[in-house]
Protein backbone atom coordinates (compact mmCIF):
# COMPACT_ATOMS: atom_id res chain seq x y z
CA UNK A 1 0.00 0.00 0.00
CA UNK A 2 2.81 2.41 0.90
CA UNK A 3 4.58 1.64 -2.39
CA UNK A 4 1.36 2.43 -4.29
CA UNK A 5 0.91 5.72 -2.40
CA UNK A 6 4.48 6.76 -3.22
CA UNK A 7 3.96 5.89 -6.87
CA UNK A 8 0.71 7.89 -6.90
CA UNK A 9 2.49 10.86 -5.34
CA UNK A 10 5.16 10.68 -8.03
CA UNK A 11 2.52 10.64 -10.78
CA UNK A 12 0.69 13.59 -9.25
CA UNK A 13 3.96 15.51 -9.02
CA UNK A 14 4.59 14.85 -12.71
CA UNK A 15 1.06 16.02 -13.49
CA UNK A 16 1.61 19.12 -11.38
CA UNK A 17 4.79 20.09 -13.21
CA UNK A 18 3.11 19.57 -16.57
CA UNK A 19 -0.15 21.40 -15.79
CA UNK A 20 0.31 24.01 -13.08
CA UNK A 21 3.15 26.20 -14.49
CA UNK A 22 1.23 26.69 -17.74
CA UNK A 23 -2.00 27.50 -15.88
CA UNK A 24 -0.11 29.92 -13.63
CA UNK A 25 1.15 31.84 -16.67
CA UNK A 26 -2.35 31.84 -18.19
CA UNK A 27 -3.94 33.17 -15.01
CA UNK A 28 -1.18 35.75 -14.62
CA UNK A 29 -2.23 37.32 -17.92
CA UNK A 30 -5.90 36.90 -17.09
CA UNK A 31 -5.43 38.77 -13.85
CA UNK A 32 -3.13 41.36 -15.42
CA UNK A 33 -5.63 42.12 -18.21
CA UNK A 34 -8.26 42.45 -15.48
CA UNK A 35 -6.31 44.90 -13.27
CA UNK A 36 -3.94 46.73 -15.63
CA UNK A 37 -6.38 49.63 -15.80
CA UNK A 38 -5.28 50.37 -12.22
CA UNK A 39 -1.85 51.34 -13.59
CA UNK A 40 -3.31 53.22 -16.56
CA UNK A 41 -5.78 55.14 -14.35
CA UNK A 42 -3.90 58.42 -14.04
CA UNK A 43 -3.08 58.78 -17.74
CA UNK A 44 -6.59 57.67 -18.80
CA UNK A 45 -8.28 60.08 -16.38
CA UNK A 46 -6.09 62.93 -17.65
CA UNK A 47 -6.54 62.12 -21.37
CA UNK A 48 -10.23 61.19 -21.27
CA UNK A 49 -11.51 63.32 -18.40
CA UNK A 50 -12.65 60.42 -16.17
CA UNK A 51 -13.41 60.97 -12.49
CA UNK A 52 -12.38 58.48 -9.78
CA UNK A 53 -16.00 57.32 -9.57
CA UNK A 54 -16.12 56.69 -13.34
CA UNK A 55 -12.89 54.73 -13.16
CA UNK A 56 -14.16 52.73 -10.17
CA UNK A 57 -17.43 52.02 -11.98
CA UNK A 58 -15.61 50.81 -15.09
CA UNK A 59 -13.34 48.62 -12.97
CA UNK A 60 -16.34 47.12 -11.21
CA UNK A 61 -18.48 46.68 -14.34
CA UNK A 62 -16.16 43.87 -15.35
CA UNK A 63 -18.10 41.79 -12.82
CA UNK A 64 -21.49 42.45 -14.42
CA UNK A 65 -20.51 40.45 -17.49
CA UNK A 66 -18.52 38.05 -15.32
CA UNK A 67 -21.53 37.32 -13.10
CA UNK A 68 -24.20 37.10 -15.79
CA UNK A 69 -22.20 34.63 -17.91
CA UNK A 70 -20.78 32.52 -15.09
CA UNK A 71 -23.49 29.83 -15.12
CA UNK A 72 -23.82 29.78 -18.95
CA UNK A 73 -20.04 29.30 -19.01
CA UNK A 74 -20.46 26.17 -16.86
CA UNK A 75 -22.74 24.78 -19.57
CA UNK A 76 -20.07 25.53 -22.18
CA UNK A 77 -17.55 23.78 -19.92
CA UNK A 78 -19.70 20.67 -19.84
CA UNK A 79 -20.12 20.69 -23.63
CA UNK A 80 -16.55 21.48 -24.69
CA UNK A 81 -14.44 20.26 -21.77
CA UNK A 82 -12.02 22.30 -19.67
CA UNK A 83 -9.12 22.42 -22.15
CA UNK A 84 -11.10 23.90 -25.05
CA UNK A 85 -13.04 26.22 -22.76
CA UNK A 86 -9.86 27.64 -21.18
CA UNK A 87 -8.18 28.13 -24.58
CA UNK A 88 -11.24 29.80 -26.14
CA UNK A 89 -11.66 32.15 -23.19
CA UNK A 90 -8.02 33.23 -23.33
CA UNK A 91 -8.14 34.07 -27.02
CA UNK A 92 -11.41 36.00 -26.57
CA UNK A 93 -10.16 38.10 -23.65
CA UNK A 94 -6.92 38.85 -25.49
CA UNK A 95 -8.88 40.29 -28.42
CA UNK A 96 -11.08 42.40 -26.12
CA UNK A 97 -8.07 43.65 -24.15
CA UNK A 98 -6.54 44.76 -27.45
CA UNK A 99 -9.62 46.92 -28.08
CA UNK A 100 -9.00 48.98 -24.91
CA UNK A 101 -6.31 50.85 -26.83
CA UNK A 102 -9.10 52.50 -28.83
CA UNK A 103 -11.19 53.75 -25.89
CA UNK A 104 -12.17 57.40 -26.40
CA UNK A 105 -14.98 57.98 -23.90
CA UNK A 106 -16.45 56.61 -20.68
CA UNK A 107 -19.27 54.66 -22.38
CA UNK A 108 -16.84 52.68 -24.56
CA UNK A 109 -14.60 52.04 -21.55
CA UNK A 110 -17.50 50.69 -19.47
CA UNK A 111 -18.86 48.56 -22.35
CA UNK A 112 -15.46 46.95 -22.94
CA UNK A 113 -15.12 46.21 -19.22
CA UNK A 114 -18.45 44.35 -19.36
CA UNK A 115 -17.32 42.44 -22.47
CA UNK A 116 -14.04 41.52 -20.79
CA UNK A 117 -16.03 40.12 -17.85
CA UNK A 118 -18.16 38.05 -20.24
CA UNK A 119 -15.03 36.69 -21.95
CA UNK A 120 -13.37 35.69 -18.67
CA UNK A 121 -16.49 34.37 -16.94
CA UNK A 122 -15.72 30.67 -17.26
CA UNK A 123 -11.94 30.73 -16.87
CA UNK A 124 -11.55 30.36 -13.12
CA UNK A 125 -14.29 27.69 -12.65
CA UNK A 126 -12.89 25.78 -15.64
CA UNK A 127 -9.41 25.76 -14.10
CA UNK A 128 -10.82 24.70 -10.72
CA UNK A 129 -12.69 21.87 -12.39
CA UNK A 130 -9.58 20.90 -14.35
CA UNK A 131 -7.49 20.73 -11.18
CA UNK A 132 -10.26 18.69 -9.55
CA UNK A 133 -10.10 15.99 -12.22
CA UNK A 134 -6.31 15.74 -11.90
CA UNK A 135 -5.62 15.94 -8.14
CA UNK A 136 -7.15 14.30 -5.04
CA UNK A 137 -8.96 16.33 -2.38
CA UNK A 138 -6.08 15.97 0.11
CA UNK A 139 -3.83 17.92 -2.31
CA UNK A 140 -6.27 20.58 -3.52
CA UNK A 141 -5.36 23.21 -0.92
CA UNK A 142 -1.71 23.21 -2.00
CA UNK A 143 -2.48 22.75 -5.71
CA UNK A 144 -5.00 25.60 -5.76
CA UNK A 145 -2.58 27.81 -3.85
CA UNK A 146 0.23 27.00 -6.30
CA UNK A 147 -2.06 27.95 -9.17
CA UNK A 148 -3.19 31.15 -7.46
CA UNK A 149 0.35 32.41 -6.93
CA UNK A 150 -0.38 33.74 -10.42
CA UNK A 151 -2.24 36.60 -8.72
CA UNK A 152 0.69 38.00 -6.71
CA UNK A 153 3.11 37.18 -9.53
CA UNK A 154 0.86 39.12 -11.88
CA UNK A 155 0.98 42.15 -9.62
CA UNK A 156 4.67 41.79 -8.77
CA UNK A 157 5.78 41.38 -12.39
CA UNK A 158 2.97 43.10 -14.24
CA UNK A 159 3.01 46.20 -12.05
CA UNK A 160 6.58 47.26 -12.81
CA UNK A 161 6.24 46.23 -16.47
CA UNK A 162 3.00 48.22 -16.86
CA UNK A 163 4.58 51.23 -15.15
CA UNK A 164 7.64 51.05 -17.41
CA UNK A 165 5.53 50.80 -20.56
CA UNK A 166 3.45 53.77 -19.43
CA UNK A 167 6.53 55.86 -18.68
CA UNK A 168 8.63 54.89 -21.72
CA UNK A 169 5.79 55.15 -24.23
CA UNK A 170 4.15 58.26 -22.79
CA UNK A 171 6.14 60.41 -25.22
CA UNK A 172 5.30 58.29 -28.27
CA UNK A 173 4.20 60.29 -31.30
CA UNK A 174 1.83 57.51 -32.37
CA UNK A 175 -0.22 56.70 -29.27
CA UNK A 176 -0.50 57.47 -25.56
CA UNK A 177 1.45 55.27 -23.16
CA UNK A 178 -1.70 53.66 -21.74
CA UNK A 179 -2.76 52.59 -25.25
CA UNK A 180 0.62 50.93 -25.84
CA UNK A 181 0.23 49.11 -22.53
CA UNK A 182 -3.11 47.60 -23.53
CA UNK A 183 -1.83 46.58 -26.98
CA UNK A 184 1.33 44.92 -25.68
CA UNK A 185 -0.33 43.10 -22.77
CA UNK A 186 -3.18 41.76 -24.95
CA UNK A 187 -0.91 39.61 -27.14
CA UNK A 188 0.32 36.94 -24.65
CA UNK A 189 -3.17 35.58 -23.77
CA UNK A 190 -3.87 34.88 -27.45
CA UNK A 191 -0.55 33.05 -27.79
CA UNK A 192 -1.04 31.01 -24.62
CA UNK A 193 -4.59 30.11 -25.61
CA UNK A 194 -3.11 28.29 -28.60
CA UNK A 195 -0.47 26.66 -26.36
CA UNK A 196 -3.18 25.36 -23.98
CA UNK A 197 -4.90 23.60 -26.88
CA UNK A 198 -1.66 21.95 -27.93
CA UNK A 199 -0.15 21.20 -24.51
CA UNK A 200 -2.91 20.16 -22.10
CA UNK A 201 -5.01 16.99 -22.17
CA UNK A 202 -8.74 16.72 -21.46
CA UNK A 203 -8.05 14.66 -18.34
CA UNK A 204 -6.08 11.72 -16.93
CA UNK A 205 -8.07 9.25 -19.04
CA UNK A 206 -6.77 10.79 -22.30
CA UNK A 207 -3.33 12.03 -21.19
CA UNK A 208 -0.88 11.24 -23.98
CA UNK A 209 2.18 11.45 -21.74
CA UNK A 210 0.93 8.67 -19.41
CA UNK A 211 1.04 4.94 -20.07
CA UNK A 212 -2.30 3.09 -19.89
CA UNK A 213 -1.30 1.64 -16.51
CA UNK A 214 -0.45 5.09 -15.15
CA UNK A 215 -3.77 6.48 -16.38
CA UNK A 216 -5.64 3.73 -14.57
CA UNK A 217 -3.58 4.34 -11.43
CA UNK A 218 -4.37 8.08 -11.34
CA UNK A 219 -8.07 7.54 -12.07
CA UNK A 220 -8.26 4.89 -9.35
CA UNK A 221 -6.53 7.19 -6.83
CA UNK A 222 -8.90 10.05 -7.64
CA UNK A 223 -12.14 8.07 -7.55
CA UNK A 224 -12.69 8.03 -3.77
CA UNK A 225 -12.30 11.79 -3.27
CA UNK A 226 -12.94 13.70 -6.48
CA UNK A 227 -15.78 14.31 -8.86
CA UNK A 228 -13.84 12.94 -11.84
CA UNK A 229 -16.62 13.70 -14.32
CA UNK A 230 -18.77 16.51 -15.56
CA UNK A 231 -21.67 17.48 -13.31
CA UNK A 232 -24.99 15.82 -13.95
CA UNK A 233 -28.08 17.79 -14.94
CA UNK A 234 -29.95 18.24 -11.64
CA UNK A 235 -31.12 21.78 -12.36
CA UNK A 236 -28.80 24.72 -11.98
CA UNK A 237 -30.95 26.42 -9.30
CA UNK A 238 -31.45 23.47 -6.94
CA UNK A 239 -28.03 23.83 -5.32
CA UNK A 240 -28.96 27.31 -4.02
CA UNK A 241 -31.30 25.66 -1.51
CA UNK A 242 -28.32 24.38 0.43
CA UNK A 243 -27.31 26.53 3.41
CA UNK A 244 -23.60 25.88 2.90
CA UNK A 245 -23.78 27.27 -0.65
CA UNK A 246 -25.47 30.45 0.57
CA UNK A 247 -22.81 30.87 3.26
CA UNK A 248 -20.08 30.36 0.68
CA UNK A 249 -21.63 33.03 -1.57
CA UNK A 250 -21.48 35.58 1.29
CA UNK A 251 -17.86 34.65 2.06
CA UNK A 252 -16.94 34.91 -1.62
CA UNK A 253 -18.68 38.30 -1.81
CA UNK A 254 -16.64 39.64 1.11
CA UNK A 255 -13.46 38.18 -0.36
CA UNK A 256 -14.17 39.86 -3.72
CA UNK A 257 -14.71 43.25 -2.05
CA UNK A 258 -11.35 42.85 -0.31
CA UNK A 259 -9.47 41.43 -3.27
CA UNK A 260 -10.58 43.81 -6.00
CA UNK A 261 -11.09 46.78 -3.71
CA UNK A 262 -7.41 46.57 -2.77
CA UNK A 263 -5.97 45.34 -6.07
CA UNK A 264 -7.70 47.83 -8.40
CA UNK A 265 -6.70 50.74 -6.21
CA UNK A 266 -3.35 49.64 -4.80
CA UNK A 267 -1.20 51.74 -7.19
CA UNK A 268 -3.25 54.77 -6.17
CA UNK A 269 -3.14 53.86 -2.47
CA UNK A 270 0.62 53.25 -2.61
CA UNK A 271 1.09 56.62 -4.34
CA UNK A 272 -0.96 58.16 -1.53
CA UNK A 273 1.44 56.95 1.17
CA UNK A 274 4.76 56.87 -0.75
CA UNK A 275 5.30 60.01 -2.82
CA UNK A 276 7.58 59.24 -5.76
CA UNK A 277 7.65 58.91 -9.58
CA UNK A 278 5.08 56.76 -11.47
CA UNK A 279 7.73 54.21 -12.52
CA UNK A 280 8.93 53.84 -8.93
CA UNK A 281 5.33 53.43 -7.79
CA UNK A 282 5.17 50.36 -10.05
CA UNK A 283 8.08 48.81 -8.14
CA UNK A 284 6.67 49.75 -4.74
CA UNK A 285 3.40 48.13 -5.82
CA UNK A 286 5.28 44.85 -6.33
CA UNK A 287 6.14 44.66 -2.60
CA UNK A 288 2.65 43.66 -1.37
CA UNK A 289 2.31 41.07 -4.13
CA UNK A 290 5.72 39.54 -3.42
CA UNK A 291 4.90 39.26 0.29
CA UNK A 292 1.67 37.50 -0.65
CA UNK A 293 3.45 34.62 -2.39
CA UNK A 294 5.11 33.31 0.79
CA UNK A 295 2.07 33.94 2.98
CA UNK A 296 -0.35 32.19 0.60
CA UNK A 297 1.93 29.15 0.36
CA UNK A 298 2.35 28.85 4.14
CA UNK A 299 -1.37 29.22 4.79
CA UNK A 300 -2.27 26.55 2.23
CA UNK A 301 0.42 24.19 3.54
CA UNK A 302 -0.87 24.63 7.09
CA UNK A 303 -4.47 24.07 5.96
CA UNK A 304 -3.64 20.80 4.18
CA UNK A 305 -1.38 19.61 7.01
CA UNK A 306 -4.08 20.10 9.64
CA UNK A 307 -6.98 19.15 7.32
CA UNK A 308 -8.67 22.42 8.36
CA UNK A 309 -10.24 25.12 6.19
CA UNK A 310 -12.52 27.41 8.24
CA UNK A 311 -9.93 29.03 10.49
CA UNK A 312 -7.52 29.31 7.55
CA UNK A 313 -10.17 31.54 5.96
CA UNK A 314 -11.46 33.37 9.03
CA UNK A 315 -8.09 34.43 10.45
CA UNK A 316 -6.82 35.98 7.17
CA UNK A 317 -10.13 37.86 6.76
CA UNK A 318 -9.85 39.24 10.30
CA UNK A 319 -6.25 40.21 9.53
CA UNK A 320 -7.41 42.15 6.45
CA UNK A 321 -9.84 44.13 8.60
CA UNK A 322 -7.30 44.91 11.31
CA UNK A 323 -4.49 45.92 8.94
CA UNK A 324 -6.71 48.19 6.81
CA UNK A 325 -8.12 50.00 9.84
CA UNK A 326 -4.56 50.47 11.13
CA UNK A 327 -3.45 51.61 7.66
CA UNK A 328 -6.20 54.22 7.57
CA UNK A 329 -5.14 55.76 10.89
CA UNK A 330 -1.41 55.51 10.09
CA UNK A 331 -1.59 56.66 6.46
CA UNK A 332 0.72 59.63 7.12
CA UNK A 333 3.54 57.19 8.04
CA UNK A 334 4.48 56.13 4.50
CA UNK A 335 6.48 52.93 5.01
CA UNK A 336 4.33 51.76 7.92
CA UNK A 337 1.20 52.26 5.82
CA UNK A 338 2.83 50.40 2.90
CA UNK A 339 3.62 47.46 5.21
CA UNK A 340 0.02 47.40 6.45
CA UNK A 341 -1.29 47.42 2.85
CA UNK A 342 1.08 44.53 2.12
CA UNK A 343 -0.31 42.56 5.07
CA UNK A 344 -3.88 43.26 3.95
CA UNK A 345 -3.24 42.14 0.37
CA UNK A 346 -1.34 39.01 1.49
CA UNK A 347 -4.16 38.03 3.85
CA UNK A 348 -6.77 38.69 1.15
CA UNK A 349 -4.96 36.44 -1.31
CA UNK A 350 -4.76 33.71 1.36
CA UNK A 351 -8.56 33.73 1.34
CA UNK A 352 -8.66 33.76 -2.45
CA UNK A 353 -6.41 30.69 -2.62
CA UNK A 354 -8.42 28.72 -0.04
CA UNK A 355 -12.06 29.57 -0.66
CA UNK A 356 -12.72 27.24 -3.58
CA UNK A 357 -11.21 24.21 -1.84
CA UNK A 358 -14.35 24.13 0.34
CA UNK A 359 -17.27 23.38 -2.05
CA UNK A 360 -15.90 19.93 -2.94
CA UNK A 361 -16.04 18.97 0.75
CA UNK A 362 -19.76 19.71 1.11
CA UNK A 363 -21.33 19.23 -2.33
CA UNK A 364 -22.12 16.00 -4.14
CA UNK A 365 -20.65 15.21 -7.54
CA UNK A 366 -23.84 16.24 -9.33
CA UNK A 367 -23.92 19.60 -7.55
CA UNK A 368 -20.30 20.71 -7.73
CA UNK A 369 -20.27 22.30 -11.20
CA UNK A 370 -23.35 24.48 -10.64
CA UNK A 371 -22.34 25.13 -7.01
CA UNK A 372 -18.95 26.53 -8.04
CA UNK A 373 -20.59 28.65 -10.73
CA UNK A 374 -23.14 30.20 -8.33
CA UNK A 375 -20.60 30.81 -5.57
CA UNK A 376 -18.13 32.42 -7.95
CA UNK A 377 -20.73 34.45 -9.86
CA UNK A 378 -22.88 35.83 -7.03
CA UNK A 379 -19.83 36.27 -4.83
CA UNK A 380 -18.21 38.29 -7.60
CA UNK A 381 -20.77 41.05 -6.97
CA UNK A 382 -18.25 42.14 -4.35
CA UNK A 383 -15.89 42.90 -7.22
CA UNK A 384 -18.34 45.60 -8.32
CA UNK A 385 -18.87 47.06 -4.85
CA UNK A 386 -15.20 47.17 -3.83
CA UNK A 387 -13.68 49.24 -6.69
CA UNK A 388 -16.73 51.47 -7.16
CA UNK A 389 -17.18 52.00 -3.41
CA UNK A 390 -13.59 53.15 -3.00
CA UNK A 391 -13.82 55.41 -6.09
CA UNK A 392 -17.08 56.98 -4.85
CA UNK A 393 -15.63 57.56 -1.38
CA UNK A 394 -12.50 59.15 -2.87
CA UNK A 395 -14.68 61.59 -4.84
CA UNK A 396 -17.17 62.43 -2.09
CA UNK A 397 -15.34 62.16 1.24
CA UNK A 398 -12.59 64.37 2.57
CA UNK A 399 -10.12 61.54 3.16
CA UNK A 400 -8.92 59.72 -0.01
CA UNK A 401 -8.10 56.62 2.07
CA UNK A 402 -11.60 56.34 3.58
CA UNK A 403 -12.48 53.47 1.23
CA UNK A 404 -10.20 51.22 3.27
CA UNK A 405 -12.79 51.25 6.05
CA UNK A 406 -15.47 49.91 3.66
CA UNK A 407 -13.19 47.02 2.69
CA UNK A 408 -12.30 46.38 6.35
CA UNK A 409 -15.98 46.14 7.32
CA UNK A 410 -16.63 43.55 4.59
CA UNK A 411 -13.55 41.57 5.67
CA UNK A 412 -14.78 41.47 9.27
CA UNK A 413 -18.22 40.30 8.13
CA UNK A 414 -16.59 37.59 6.01
CA UNK A 415 -14.56 36.34 8.99
CA UNK A 416 -17.70 36.05 11.13
CA UNK A 417 -19.75 34.29 8.43
CA UNK A 418 -16.93 31.82 7.74
CA UNK A 419 -17.31 30.41 11.25
CA UNK A 420 -20.91 29.45 10.40
CA UNK A 421 -19.60 26.79 8.00
CA UNK A 422 -19.81 23.20 9.28
CA UNK A 423 -16.57 21.48 10.24
CA UNK A 424 -15.56 19.68 7.05
CA UNK A 425 -15.04 15.97 6.73
CA UNK A 426 -11.61 14.62 5.79
Domains of the chain: 2-418 (1.20.1250.20)
Angle (CA) 43 46 52, round 5°: 90
**Residue closest to 245 by CA, chosen among 53, 422, 392:** 422
Q: Where are the alpha helices (DSSP H) in 205-309?
A: 212-222, 243-273, 278-306
How far is it, in rounded angstroms, from Cα 275 to Cα 280? 9
Asked whether 293 and 369 are in contact (CB, 8 A), the reply is no
Query: CA quadruple 132, 135, 136, 139: dihedral positive or negative?
Result: negative
Q: What is the pLDDT along the chain (426 residues), one digit of tens a residue?
A: 444 444 467 777 787 788 888 888 888 887 777 777 777 777 777 777 777 777 777 777 887 888 778 767 767 777 777 788 888 888 988 899 888 888 888 888 888 888 888 888 878 778 877 887 787 766 766 777 777 777 777 777 777 777 777 777 767 667 777 888 888 888 888 999 899 888 888 778 777 777 787 777 777 776 555 444 444 445 567 777 788 888 888 998 998 888 877 776 677 767 766 666 665 666 777 777 777 787 877 887 888 777 788 888 899 999 999 988 888 788 777 678 778 888 888 888 888 777 777 777 777 656 666 777 778 778 878 877 777 777 777 777 766 677 778 888 999 999 999 998 877 644
Asked whether 380 and 66 are in contact (CB, 8 A), the reply is yes
Say which DSSP state 231 is in.
Answer: P
Find the distance separating the first CA and the last CA of the chain, reported in whole Å. Answer: 20
By the 10 Å C-beta count (0-12 exposed, 13-18 middle, 19+ buried), 351 is classed as buried
Helix (H) or strand (E) holding 395: helix 381-396
Asked whether 74 and 107 are in contact (CB, 8 A), the reply is no
How far is it, in rounded angstroms, from Cα 35 to Cα 39? 8
Asked whether 379 and 252 are in contact (CB, 8 A), the reply is yes
Amino acid sequence: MQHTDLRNSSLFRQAGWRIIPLLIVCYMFSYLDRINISFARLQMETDLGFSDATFGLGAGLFFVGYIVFQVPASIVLKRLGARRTIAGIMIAWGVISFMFAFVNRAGVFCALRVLLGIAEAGFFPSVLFYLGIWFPQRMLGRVTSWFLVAIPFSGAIGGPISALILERMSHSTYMAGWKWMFLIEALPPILFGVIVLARLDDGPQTARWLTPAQRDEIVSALRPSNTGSMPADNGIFSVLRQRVVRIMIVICFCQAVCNYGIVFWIPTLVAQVVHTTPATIGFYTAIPFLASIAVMTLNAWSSDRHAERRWHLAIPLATVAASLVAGFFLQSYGLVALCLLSVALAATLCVTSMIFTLPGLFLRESELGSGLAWINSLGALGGLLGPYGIGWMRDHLANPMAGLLLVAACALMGAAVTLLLPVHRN
